[in-house]
Amino acid sequence: MNSACKEASKLASDGLDRKLTLWERLKLQIHMSMCGKCKNCNKSMKLIRKATKLISQSRSGKIRLSDEQRESLQKALDEDRN
């Protein structure tokens, strides 16, 4: 992984926890427009975060996933593996 990819990965991860600055968002978008691996990594991180949150809420009883929601989540996870 080169230094530009390392920086993009860090920005993508940071973006899950806080709002990135305009400059950070621009750097990330420019890099991802040229780097498919980082774009896929960012997409995967977002999917994992969303799935983890849904599973956690489902297990704690805060929400109940319908069969349709479970299938949709499983489909997204399966697509991400390919």
- pLDDT (0 to 100) of residue 69: 79
**77/14 Cα distance (integer angstroms):** 22
Domain boundaries, given as residue ranges, for the chain:
3-81
pLDDT digits 0-9 by tens, 52-61: 887 777 766 6
Q: Is the pTM of this model over 0.85?
A: no
Q: How far apart are CA 37 and CA 5, in angstroms?
A: 9
